[in-house]
Amino acid sequence: MCGIVGYVGPRQATSILIDGLRRMEYRGYDSAGVAVLNGKGIKVQKAEGKLSALVEKIGQETIEGTVGIGHTRWATHGAPTTPNAHPHISGDGRIAIIHNGIVENASSIKKALTQRGHTFASATDTEVLAHLIGEYYQGSLEEAVAAALRDVDGAYGIAVVSADEPDVVVAARKGSPLLVGVGDGEWFVASDASAILEHTRSVVYLDDGEMVVLTRVGYRVRTLEVSRIEKPVNQIEWDLATIERGGYPHFMLKEIFEQPESIENTLRGHLLHEEGSARLSGLNLTDEYLGQMERIIITACGTSWHSALIGEYMLEEMARISVEVEYASEFRYRSPIVDNKTLVIAISQSGETADTLAAIREAKRRGARTVGLVNVVGSTIAREVDGGLYLRAGPEVGVASTKAFTCQVAALALVTLRFARLRHLSVLEGRTFIDALQRIPALIQSILDRAPEIEALAKRCEDATNALYLGRGVNFPVALEGALKLKEISYIHAEGYPAAEMKHGPIALIDENMPVIFIAPKDAVHSKIVSNIEEVKARGGKVIALITEGDTEIEQLADATFPIPETLDLLSPLLTGVPLQLLSYYVAVRRGCNVDQPRNLAKSVTVE
Ligand code: F6R
């Protein structure tokens, strides 16, 4: 995720900004930059890649000045290049801005600005905002920022400086965190307390719709409309290491808890409620092509392959298109039947997985159109596909994939909606699907709020040497994913199976020592899965079941249950996947495993 830091005070700003950015490196980023007011104007320096590249650039040309802003960018709009790095400047170069979040109406604002003669040097929404603030500027930076933000839809945390007000930093937030650091004769703004903690522990947390004006004599919090509001100053008690993980003991837990927000980010700007459809212009697929498309192959590895399987259920049921899901490593070496009426979708968190990349290249060679559902902007797969959709899950640091999985499923739901509306789905059905999708983040939050219940269930599994995960229909891939998560981080051998397949072999394993985890929401195959639970119980197996709230039938059968809120059958993996992530996390912690960096695993598998 991007990081923001700003400074006004007596000390040289550049090193304070760079140190602050360094403290936020753990969040992940792909470029960085600073803007410092040096009395003559704004000096901007930015670089692609790691902070060391920026430091090297600055080293060649020292930036003097005691007021400035700094940013680490994790690309969402435009590739991670130096021109797209922040700060961005206004048309006349007098204003510089850094920005976290997404300006949803950037393209319409850009169009209007272009008509008024503005030209742009980057592909970012942030540069549009810089130009807009520049247009509004009439001698007061804070008023220009407030005026521009009234025109903006979307989420932002921003910090802005102007060459005409050399002692001022203005910052604002809506949907993206920002706090003010109150020092001794110096003031800071940051998106993350870790950036300023070595200078002060006194902070003012800004709420959505609030702005702050830092000057050499203090700070003033305001809203877009009211010029001063009172806010309490809080004392931070956490140490730096805890803060960098947002107060969570591990990145994996932090990322599990980020899912309501990350899914909102995946969906943001894509849903067309009125039309009951999804806007996915990035796929670069015309209605004409989609009309002629005969089949889809989804290719991926690991967790991404599991989300692909969920996509297969969604696409076949709602869009009535024939879908095959292929391990990328297999696809690339067989002789797949692919032609120009085949759409090949690659799913990848990192966008760098060697097998998935090779599969895409093979598909292109055979004349298929390719689309990527990728998290990391500017990654190789994202660059090589014909079109795509970014997941916007934010950086995933924990090696075991969690939030990228649910964002992949949400992205597949968007693709399904778009394809289905062109084929068989009615407007009303489309709207019902959108309503259900939009409720998912809050429902996930309600599951996360009950994490202690899962922690208690973990005790039932921690001493197991084997575990079986069983699901049916769209929750069969969730069973696979649950098993993968458990084995990756706790080193307990686990298998996922379609529940009915159990009696064709794995049933031989069942005894009182092996937990059997059923994913059993009240869906179209509920009565079938109840029979499968009976079969396990009849053999003395220990059953833990994820059930729909109020399902007393399974409650009476199972040894333990965890209730999930109701949603559409096809969207249930977005809910059932989350407690399974938590279960593996808590089991691994209880077993003393290195949760964020499990043995033998790499975050990005760039070798065959
Ligand atoms: C599991 C996991 C891996 C990845 C797989 C594909 O937790 O992280 O199975 O899902 O290596 O990686 P991406 O999605 O980056 O292509």
Q: What is the pLDDT of residues 538-555, one digit of tens each?
A: 999 999 999 999 999 999
- CA–CA dist 402, 383 (Å, integer): 24
pLDDT single digits (tens) 239-295 = 776 667 878 999 999 999 999 999 999 999 999 999 999 999 999 999 999 999 999
At 608, the pLDDT band (50, 70, 90 cuts) reads low
Catalytic residue among 2, 301, 461, 593: 2
Mean of the pLDDT values across residues 47-59? Answer: 92
Residue 605 has pLDDT above 90, yes or no: no
Task: Kindly give the number of the ligand 1 atom that is closest to the alpha carbon of 402.
Answer: 7
**Residue 345 C-alpha to ligand 1 middle, in angstroms?**
16
**Residue 603 C-alpha to ligand 1 middle, in angstroms?**
7
Looking at CATH, the fold of the domain delimited by 3-236 is given as Glutamine Phosphoribosylpyrophosphate, subunit 1, domain 1 (3.60.20)
Cβ of residue 354 lying under 6 Å from some atom of ligand 1: no
**Residue 304 C-alpha to ligand 1 middle, in angstroms?**
6
Residue 15 has pLDDT above 70, yes or no: yes
Which CATH architecture does the domain made up of 450-608 adopt?
A: 3-Layer(aba) Sandwich (3.40)
CATH of 242-448, one of 3.40.50.10490, 1.20.210.10, 3.40.50.10790, 2.60.40.1180: 3.40.50.10490
Q: Which two tokens stand for residue 424?
A: 């068989």
pLDDT single digits (tens) 302-359 = 999 999 999 999 999 999 999 999 999 999 888 889 999 999 999 999 898 989 999 9
Q: Would you state the pLDDT for residue 322?
A: 96
**Residue 353 C-alpha to ligand 1 middle, in angstroms?**
8
Q: Would you state the pLDDT for residue 176?
A: 80
Please say if 461 is a catalytic residue.
no
Cβ of residue 379 lying under 6 Å from some atom of ligand 1: no
At 38, the pLDDT band (50, 70, 90 cuts) reads confident
Question: What residues contact residue 23 under an 8 Å CB cut-off, 6+ apart?
Answer: 192, 194, 195, 197, 198, 240, 244
Task: Kindly give the number of the ligand 1 atom that is closest to the alpha carbon of 604.
Answer: 15
Same fold, 242-448 and 450-608: yes
CB-hemisphere CA count at 13 Å for 216?
A: 8
Q: Supply the pTM of this predicted model.
A: 0.82
Task: Kindly give the number of the ligand 1 atom that is closest to the alpha carbon of 302.
Answer: 9
**Residue 599 C-alpha to ligand 1 middle, in angstroms?**
15
Residue 517 has pLDDT above 70, yes or no: yes
pLDDT single digits (tens) 93-107 = 999 999 998 898 999
Residue 604 has pLDDT above 90, yes or no: no
Do residues 295 and 363 make contact, with C-beta atoms less than 8 angstroms apart? no
Q: Residue 372 forms beta bridges with which residues?
A: 346, 388
Task: Kindly give the number of the ligand 1 atom that is closest to the alpha carbon of 300.
Answer: 16
Cβ of residue 302 lying under 6 Å from some atom of ligand 1: yes
pLDDT single digits (tens) 398-422 = 889 999 999 999 999 999 999 999 9
Q: Would you state the pLDDT for residue 607?
A: 64
Q: Would you state the pLDDT for residue 295?
A: 96
Residue to mutate (ligand 1; options 251, 252, 353, 486; most atoms within 8 A of CB): 353
**Residue 601 C-alpha to ligand 1 middle, in angstroms?**
10
Q: Where are the beta strands (DSSP E) in 245-294?
A: 271-272, 277-278
Residue nearest to atom 9 of ligand 1 (CA): 302
Q: Would you state the pLDDT for residue 80?
A: 87
At 363, the pLDDT band (50, 70, 90 cuts) reads very high
- First-to-last alpha carbon distance for the chain, in angstroms, is 29
Residue 75 has pLDDT above 70, yes or no: yes
Task: Kindly give the number of the ligand 1 atom that is closest to the alpha carbon of 356.
Answer: 16
Residue 127 has pLDDT above 70, yes or no: yes
Q: Average pLDDT of the chain?
A: 93
Lowest mean pLDDT among 304-318, 376-390, 518-532: 376-390
Cβ of residue 489 lying under 6 Å from some atom of ligand 1: no
Q: Would you state the pLDDT for residue 396?
A: 86
Cβ of residue 402 lying under 6 Å from some atom of ligand 1: no
**Residue 404 C-alpha to ligand 1 middle, in angstroms?**
9
Q: Is 449 exposed, middle or buried (0-12, 13-18, 19+ CB in 10 A)?
A: exposed
Cβ of residue 303 lying under 6 Å from some atom of ligand 1: yes
The percent of residues above 70 in pLDDT, for the chain, comes to 98
Coil, strand or helix at 556: helix
Residue to mutate (ligand 1; options 303, 326, 608; most atoms within 8 A of CB): 303
Domains of the chain by residue range = 3-236, 242-448, 450-608
Q: Would you state the pLDDT for residue 599?
A: 83
- Residue 292 Cα distances to 286, 287, 422, 423, 468, angstroms: 10, 9, 11, 11, 42
Cβ of residue 581 lying under 6 Å from some atom of ligand 1: no
Please say if 2 is a catalytic residue.
yes
Mean of the pLDDT values across residues 567-581? Answer: 98
